[in-house]
Amino acid sequence: MVRLFPLSSSPFSTSSAAVALLATLSLIATSCSPPADQPGTGLSPNAPADMPADAPVDSVVDVPVDGDGNAPPVDLFGTSLACPTSDDDRVLVSGERIGVCFLVPAGFEAREMDNGSLMVLAPADTLGHRERLFVNVEHALGRNRTMAVEQVVANHRLPGDRSDADVGREITFGGIEAIALDRLPGQELNRQVILVDRDRLMTWMFMPDEPARSEENAQMEALFTSVAESLVLLEIPEAPALPLPSIGSGFPEDAEFLWSHTDYSGGGEPTCRQLAITEDHTFIGSCTAVESEIDGVPPQWAALRDQVRPMIVQGGEHVLVVRGTGDQQGPPWHRVLERWAEDSYGELAAGRVSATGRTAMSWWQEDVPSDGSQTAVSCRHLLVLAHGYAYASTRDGACPGGPDGSQPDAGSQQGLESTVEGWLTADELERFLTWTSTRQPYYEGPSYLDGRGSEELPEEEAAEVRVFARGVLARLGG
């Protein structure tokens, strides 16, 4: 049996995640299920690139068929689903768990993945990889179709790329307005179709989108055409309540922010930590249960929420669910949120919040007169937190510190004239996060960059760090 979560008016309601229906998933391709000895595949749009090909998938349950070989969709919600009908050339795939049904060319096979997404395979006699379509459905979290497309484009940008990106082409997909993005990079070049229905954000990934691979590409195009012509989004009485990823027992399902991190480095069973934030409470614990509920929210959560767009990010070791209200998105901001969440969890678990524990860069710059005298006329200081929030201060005279040249005191009010704060820009974030994640700690007099990586900072990059600090100070006005 396949677990199916019920649909309700609130996509984050407690009852919708706590109660699961056991139901049959109608995944019909040709007149029989895949052979018992046909291995499943764990590939999915959200899977790490190194996921093994034999990762488990949920079993496909046989569904009774009528005299014409058709299987009527299971109507769990008391509505008329009006799915298309199989014929000699195309067969029905119906998945009530995510609320879709469509036709695929005869010979293709369909399966449900563990995370609820669907996978469609080319006929069994196809050589090589048979994956031709993945269907993933998640909470829209207030995102519209354009916002979702922009997030896909941002996720596929190369570091430092600020060029105008192709935002896709508008198409009609199952009679619904959608946007198609062609030849996106991945394990294979792929075409992604993005559509939003009520609070469902759907991503349809067709592959390979490579005309040079004539046979495989022809299979993909035939499948694309069949789905585009036949897709029906199942009529349901309420907005879908798709389960949020990795919700542990006792964690709030209406959280503004959810982060979980699974650590595989111990060699034994992986460990998993989870943090959730509501309007005025914070919850921490394992990924199975809350261990502590804290009044209030971690520092700078409101600033982060107002900076980033709504998003769900799954992949590798991290899961993020963010009900953001800003307009920033893309991998650099995913890393910002992950680093901030990791630091917040560590501080809360230890029972203390540190004012300096999140500092990843502290850089001092003294300005001297143009006549060459050694008496500094002003001191500027840049402090950047690990998640990319910066403070630039200006002091009158030399930088505060001991007469023996000891470390200047960033907290000193001596001669303090002004302090300006703000987020790093997208370009600054990319460079800063690269240094702090890949390089060892670097010290230059009283200044430092607190890297967490294993590689030494080369001299040419040290020069770039100095230029970076001066540039951020100048931009912020410190």
> What is the CA angle 137-327-166, rounded to 5?
70
pLDDT above 70 as % of the chain: 70
What is the per-residue pLDDT across 68-113, written as a single tens digit (0 to 9) for each?
444 444 333 333 457 899 999 999 998 777 888 999 999 999 998 7
The pLDDT of residue 30 is 37
Range of weakest confidence among 52-56, 119-123, 460-464: 52-56
What is the per-residue pLDDT across 427-437, written as a single tens digit (0 to 9) for each?
899 899 999 98
The pLDDT of residue 289 is 87
The pLDDT of residue 82 is 79
> What is the CA angle 222-223-228, rounded to 5?
100
What is the per-residue pLDDT across 383-410, written as a single tens digit (0 to 9) for each?
999 999 999 998 877 776 544 445 566 6
Q: Does 64 or 241 have the greater pLDDT score?
A: 241
What is the per-residue pLDDT across 334-376, written as a single tens digit (0 to 9) for each?
889 999 999 999 999 988 766 556 899 999 987 766 555 555 5
Q: Is the pTM of this model over 0.85?
A: no
- Ramachandran bin of 366, using left for φ above 0, alpha for ψ from -120 to 50, beta for the remaining angles: beta
User: Following DSSP, what letter does each residue of 71-99 receive, concatenated?
Assistant: -PPP-SSSS--------SSEEEEEETTTT
Q: Report d(CA 255, CA 253) in Å as an integer.
A: 5
The pLDDT of residue 414 is 63
What is the per-residue pLDDT across 271-316, written as a single tens digit (0 to 9) for each?
889 999 999 999 999 888 899 999 999 988 999 999 998 888 876 6
| 39-52: average pLDDT | 34
Expressed in angstroms, the distance from the first to the final Cα of the chain is 62
The pLDDT of residue 218 is 96
The pLDDT of residue 463 is 94
Q: Outline where DSSP puts E strands in 124-278.
A: 131-139, 169-173, 176-184, 190-197, 200-206, 232-233, 257-263, 271-277
| 38-50: average pLDDT | 34
The pLDDT of residue 163 is 52
Which of 415, 427, 416 is closest to 475 using CA atoms? 427
Q: For tokens 């559509």, what's the residue?
A: 195
* Amino acid found at 40: G
In sequence order, what are the residues at sequence separation of 6 or more whose Cβ sits closer than 8 angstroms to the Cβ of residue 265? none
In sequence order, what are the residues at sequence separation of 6 or more whose Cβ sits closer than 8 angstroms to the Cβ of residue 36? none
Range of weakest confidence among 220-224, 318-322, 344-348: 318-322
The pLDDT of residue 141 is 76
